[in-house]
Amino acid sequence: MNISIVFVLGLFFAFIGVIPPGMLNISAAKISLKEGHARGFIFSVGVCVIVGVQTYLALIFAKYLNQHPDVVDVLKRVAFVLFVLISIYFFLLAKNDTSPQEVDASKSKKSRFFQGILMSALNVFPIPYQAYIVTTLLSYKLLSLDNLSIGTYISGATSGTFIALYIYILFFDKINNSKITSPKRMNYSIGIITAVVSITTLINILKSS
> Mean pLDDT for each consecutive 10-residue tract of the chain (209 residues)?
91 90 84 89 95 95 80 74 79 64 47 93 86 86 91 97 93 62 66 79 76
Residues 132 and 99: their CA atoms lie apart, in Å, by: 32
- 125 in helix, strand or coil? coil
Cβ neighbourhood burial of 57 (10 Å; 0-12, 13-18, 19+):
middle
Element (DSSP H or E) covering residue 126 = helix 126-139
DSSP state of 22: -
- Residue 101 pLDDT: 47
- Residue 2 pLDDT: 86
pTM value > 0.85 = no
- Residue 165 pLDDT: 95
Domain ranges (residues) in the chain: 3-208
- Residue 105 pLDDT: 43
- Residue 160 pLDDT: 97
- 195 in helix, strand or coil? helix
- Residue 179 pLDDT: 55
> Using an 8 Å Cβ cutoff, are 92 and 187 in contact?
no
> Using an 8 Å Cβ cutoff, are 164 and 18 in contact?
yes
| Number of CB atoms found within 10 A of residue 104's CB | 9
> Using an 8 Å Cβ cutoff, are 114 and 141 in contact?
no
- Residue 100 pLDDT: 44
